[in-house]
Structure 1
Amino acid sequence: MSKVDAGLNARQCKEERRLSVGACSSVLHGNPTPQCCYRIRVAHVECVCPVITPQLVAFIDVPRLIRIVQGCGRRVPRHFKCGSITTP
């Protein structure tokens, strides 16, 4: 298995993404649940950012996503690059 970072392998990252998608599906229709905010706070950017493709970005309201992440207690640095997104 390929290593994604020192602590997680590809299988673990895939599972982390699966858990995050399941916990955060409510965001499509409203606000994040406490479970979603937890997943946002513990997510490893090394697992999440590689799947942020230009095709996916076309469906994402980036400013709203940033507000959600920050509202869940996770800092989003200025000019942070995550996949095909670079924060303002």
Structure 2
Amino acid sequence: MEDKMSREEIISRLKKVLATVKGVEESTIDCDESTNLLTGLGLNSVGMLYMIIAVENEFGIRFEDTNTSELVTVGKVIDFIQQISAMKQGK
């Protein structure tokens, strides 16, 4: 991943990932950091799994199994992407 992406850059890439996971056009993904992944975006447990895998591939990171239960909102996903990327870069 590039050196320290902004939250806006991450959410832009995340919208592409979510559109792919949901099988819809990116323009139909209306979310911000407070959007709940389950109730706001309609992801079910399988959709969450696909999203995690897609995020890992898009950002070149790996989530630990214990982390995934905390991924409730788009903002939490962004937090984890930033944290894992920083650890990966040794910062």
Larger RCO: Structure 1 or Structure 2 (Cα < 8 Å, ≥ 6 residues apart)?
A: 2
Between structures 1 and 2, the one with greater strand share:
1
TM-score between the two structures when normalised by the length of structure 1: 0.38
Determine which structure has more spread, i.e. the larger CA radius of gyration.
Answer: 1
Between structures 1 and 2, the one with greater helix share:
2
TM-score between the two structures when normalised by the length of structure 2: 0.37
